[in-house]
Copies of this chain bind each other. A is one copy, B any other.
């Protein structure tokens, strides 16, 4: 049984189903699709359509009759009884037995403990939220066009967290406002939009080695992104954010659109598993697993991806691997293959080792930074490397050609054809109430 059809669960299911076709494999996911998450920020700015980065899970495994896909959530574990509590989309649900279990439930954002910020400051990791962000960003420009007195707030976009997702998101909003939208409005100049990228550390992309953070900062500035490093977000509401610098001084920024890309928190399933084995989770909610990714005392249960820390085979110390797709993919393949090999009763094999093939982050069109096999580079070469790798990894996506064509087209024309405000993207209640109450007639 595999819980989660993301970058960890998908390769695990693949490795298992291709090794043996007599297995009974059950893959459980809350969504009916596998999402190519590193590109979901593209959906949030209308650059790509959802179907270009999401693939129905049933379709992926349609030829593996050993694989059963269940749409629903896992809400509990009974490790002694070897079963999980499953809640299906309809009335369906109950305890499902397993022989071997792989949990790959991923992570979510933490909002620094302020769950009430979640409604205002959306993330772009999930497809639903990315679609909502797309609607809110497009709405903001529409509202600015209609409300001359409210332009400052509508045309200010705050992105919290300057990791790869935050940097990419800020870059995309800047490109949208400066390259795609100009000419489409009559009362505002979209180029006046302010894109503010807030980061607690003193530089963006602090996970990258020098000089890449500095180069990323320069590329962001060229795109028109304002960088507020060494600043922490201490307040978020429908009308703006409150920032605090290192001296403790606070300032308020009026902004109707806030996007959250900071503070990862592991799936609650990590804490459930930790509790079941008498272990603890770290500050980010991550569970500690053995060097072979199994649960202490439960060799039949593995947990992978960014919901776990992995105990070093020699020192025994838990280490946190970067929360990146390649880590989850390598772990998924490792566990899938190990299980496939172990089935006839062989030994468990070597511990998991992450092979770091490098890091890449794109900032905008033809702007990126790369640290690949020790080689650090930026600009167009890094962007091309990013493009090739991402298109290559859209494996299983039959529409890879379509995505490539669309990207090339969008690169040449600077257009964004998916700029649709659909219902999922309705504005949050919080921002509606105060404005609607004013009832002014402000159309020019």
Binding site for B on A (CB under 8 A): 31-33, 49-52, 54-56, 58-59, 61-63, 65, 68-72, 86, 88-96, 127-128, 131-132, 138-139, 142-143, 145-147, 150, 181, 183-187, 398-399, 401-402, 405-406, 409, 413, 415, 417-424, 427, 435-443
Candidates B88, B138, B422; contact of A443 at CB < 8 Å:
B88
Q: Which 5 A-B pairs have the closest CB atoms?
A: A94-B441, A92-B146, A58-B184, A424-B424, A51-B418
Residue from A52, A59, A139, A443 whose CB has the most chain B CB atoms within 10 Å: A443
Q: Which residues of B contact A94 (CB under 8 A)?
A: 440-443
Q: Which chain B residue lies CB-closest to A147?
A: B92
Q: Which chain B residue lies CB-closest to A397?
A: B417
Given A51-B49, A52-B49, A54-B420, are A138 and B92 also a contact pair (CB < 8 Å)? no
Given A51-B420, A405-B402, are A439 and B91 also a contact pair (CB < 8 Å)? yes
- Asked if B417 contacts A71 (CB within 8 A), the reply is no
8 pairs, CB–CB < 8 Å, chain A vs chain B:
A49-B50, A59-B415, A70-B443, A71-B146, A90-B435, A92-B441, A132-B423, A402-B402
Smallest distance from the beta carbon of A56 to chain B beta carbons, Å? 5
Q: Which residues of B contact A59 (CB under 8 A)?
A: 184, 415, 419
Q: Which chain B residue lies CB-closest to A48?
A: B51
Compute how far the CA of A128 lies from the CA of B49 in the bound complex, rounded to whole angstroms. 15
- Asked if B88 contacts A32 (CB within 8 A), the reply is no
Compute how far the CA of A58 lies from the CA of B32 in the bound complex, rounded to whole angstroms. 33
Q: Which chain B residue lies CB-closest to A437?
A: B91
Residue from A56, A69, A88, A132 whose CB has the most chain B CB atoms within 10 Å: A56
- Asked if B143 contacts A422 (CB within 8 A), the reply is no
**What secondary structure prevails in chain A residues at the interface with B?**
mixed
Q: What 18 new A-B contacts, CB under 8 Å, besides A88-B443, A89-B427?
A: A31-B421, A56-B420, A58-B185, A62-B184, A63-B183, A70-B146, A70-B443, A88-B143, A88-B147, A89-B142, A90-B146, A90-B147, A91-B438, A91-B439, A401-B405, A402-B402, A402-B405, A422-B424
- Asked if B147 contacts A91 (CB within 8 A), the reply is yes
- Asked if B402 contacts A436 (CB within 8 A), the reply is no
Smallest distance from the beta carbon of A16 to chain B beta carbons, Å? 16
Q: Which chain B residue lies CB-closest to A61?
A: B184
Candidates B63, B427, B443; contact of A92 at CB < 8 Å:
B443
- Asked if B417 contacts A406 (CB within 8 A), the reply is no
Q: Which residues of B contact A398 (CB under 8 A)?
A: 409, 413, 415, 417
Q: Which residues of B contact A56 (CB under 8 A)?
A: 184, 419-420
Compute how far the CA of A31 lies from the CA of B419 in the bound complex, rounded to whole angstroms. 11
Candidates B33, B51, B72, B423; contact of A424 at CB < 8 Å:
B423
Q: Which residues of B contact A127 (CB under 8 A)?
A: 420, 422
Q: Which chain B residue lies CB-closest to A419?
A: B56
Smallest distance from the beta carbon of A32 to chain B beta carbons, Å? 5
Compute how far the CA of A352 lies from the CA of B438 in the bound complex, rounded to whole angstroms. 44
Compute how far the CA of A443 lies from the CA of B402 in the bound complex, rounded to whole angstroms. 37
- Asked if B146 contacts A435 (CB within 8 A), the reply is no
Smallest distance from the beta carbon of A389 to chain B beta carbons, Å? 22
Smallest distance from the beta carbon of A303 to chain B beta carbons, Å? 22
Smallest distance from the beta carbon of A74 to chain B beta carbons, Å? 12
Q: Which residues of B contact A54 (CB under 8 A)?
A: 420
- Asked if B131 contacts A55 (CB within 8 A), the reply is no
Q: Which residues of B contact A401 (CB under 8 A)?
A: 405
Q: Which residues of B contact A417 (CB under 8 A)?
A: 51, 55, 398-399
- Asked if A139 contacts B95 (CB within 8 A), the reply is no
Compute how far the CA of A145 lies from the CA of B187 in the bound complex, rounded to whole angstroms. 53
Q: Which residues of B contact A88 (CB under 8 A)?
A: 143, 146-147, 443
- Asked if A90 contacts B143 (CB within 8 A), the reply is yes
